[in-house]
Amino acid sequence: MIEFRDIQYDVFDVHTHWSNLVCKILKGPLEMAALPQVLDLVFSNWAAVQGRTRNRRERNMEFFRMVLDQFGIDRAILLPVFGFDVEFNIEIGRHFPGRVTSFGMVPPRARDVEHRFERMREAGVKGLKLHANYHKFSPRLHAAELSRLLGWCSDESMVVLFHSGSHYEIRDLVPLLKPLDDLRVIIGHSGLGNQVDQAVAAAKTLPNAYLEVSSQPYSYMFERALKDPDIGVERFLFGSDLPGIHPLVEAMKVLQFPISEADKRLILAGNAVRLLGIHIEENNQST
């Protein structure tokens, strides 16, 4: 929970990452990917957490819980970036069922794409994260492979979160999404800076597309989209891209929107709760 001007808000962060790579020997490289306050929290509590957990995976799961606490995040969608994080991320979701919702990952062009998707389905993930650069696809060049995967997600009622704003044009994605009426899509970063216009245009065209706010600095475009009758407040989601981006700075964007307190609560948590059909539990504890 966060508090601003004496008002408290639940926080459901739909864009977080964590990895089992967290270890002392990689402290230097981790500085490229994580906020210094996150690394300080982890490494200053290393011995204590090591002492109360049984192995590396448990230790790193506990660190993720502590990082969520550090920024007042009540519930989070955990997104894998690299293949080796997928099973660990799923495990975190099972370890903290009241707090973490795990998404999976399937590169659309993988030779064993069907098998990988089946594994995600069996694991019960609520959605997939797709990243054009890390997963080596282009909506224009690999439309058939991408459409096939998106169709499966639609059939299984999975949500798809796309990294957006770099490596491809959002407008190239829209024709692939338009025929999939039931597929719910999160436009991660809302186009970063440069493609904000395309992100808003996509949200206007696709009734099941959601604008996620992390790393998108153009507040004035968000204000337009909030007032747009074809988009509106219910199509916004709070995301931070933790641990690389600062959740409280991203939350401030939402707190500054010229909307009611009730609408801010929708963006910070309510819309995500509705989208995923889950709840923020009080007194979340490790299971």
Measure the CA–CA gap between 212 and 250, rounded to whole angstroms: 10
Task: Tell me which stretch binds another protein (CB under 8 A): 14-22, 81-89, 216-224, 263-271.
Answer: 216-224
Task: Tell me which stretch binds another protein (CB under 8 A): 50-58, 71-79, 150-158, 203-211.
Answer: 71-79
Which one among 53, 138, 205, 208 touches another protein, defined by CB under 8 A?
Answer: 138
Q: Could you say whether residue 64 binds another protein (CB under 8 A)? A: no
Q: Pairing mode, if any, of strands 209-212 and 185-188?
A: parallel
Q: Could you say whether residue 226 binds another protein (CB under 8 A)? A: yes
| Inter-CA distances, 200 with 14, 173, 175, 272, Å | 18, 13, 15, 19
Measure the CA–CA gap between 235 and 186, rounded to whole angstroms: 9
Which one among 67, 231, 251, 272 touches another protein, defined by CB under 8 A?
Answer: 251
Q: Minimal CA–CA distance to 209: which of 221, 217, 201, 218? A: 201
Tell me the three state secondary structure of residue 12: strand
Q: Could you say whether residue 26 binds another protein (CB under 8 A)? A: no
- Rounded to a whole number, what is the distance in angstroms from the first to the last CA of the chain? 20
Task: Tell me which stretch binds another protein (CB under 8 A): 132-140, 152-160, 180-188, 260-268.
Answer: 132-140
Query: Would the CA dihedral through 191, 196, 200, 201 be positive or negative?
Result: negative
Task: Tell me which stretch binds another protein (CB under 8 A): 48-56, 63-71, 89-97, 200-208.
Answer: 63-71
Nearer to another protein, 158 or 176 (CB): 176
Which one among 20, 53, 147, 284 touches another protein, defined by CB under 8 A?
Answer: 284
Task: Tell me which stretch binds another protein (CB under 8 A): 69-77, 79-87, 201-209, 267-275.
Answer: 69-77
CA 194 to chain centre: 20
Q: Could you say whether residue 109 binds another protein (CB under 8 A)? A: no
Nearer to another protein, 86 or 211 (CB): 211
Q: Could you say whether residue 5 binds another protein (CB under 8 A)? A: yes
Q: Could you say whether residue 248 binds another protein (CB under 8 A)? A: yes
Q: Could you say whether residue 223 binds another protein (CB under 8 A)? A: yes
- Phi, psi of 165, rounded to the nearest 5 degrees: 105, -15
Measure the CA–CA gap between 183 and 216, rounded to whole angstroms: 23
- Restricting to residues 33-62, name those near another protein by CB under 8 A: 34-37, 40
Q: Could you say whether residue 165 binds another protein (CB under 8 A)? A: yes
Closest distance to another protein from the beta carbon of 246 (Å) = 5
| Inter-CA distances, 150 with 158, 174, 203, 240, Å | 9, 12, 17, 24
Burial 19-41 (b: 16+ CB within 10 A, else e): bbebeeeeeeebeebbbeebbeb
Closest distance to another protein from the beta carbon of 27 (Å) = 14
Nearer to another protein, 68 or 158 (CB): 68
Measure the CA–CA gap between 127 and 105, rounded to whole angstroms: 8
Q: Count how many residues are written for the chain.
A: 287
Q: List residues binding another protein (CB under 8 A).
A: 1-5, 8, 31-32, 34-37, 40, 69-72, 74, 132-133, 137-138, 140-141, 165-169, 192-194, 215, 217-220, 223-224, 226-227, 244-246, 248-249, 251-253, 255-256, 258, 283-284
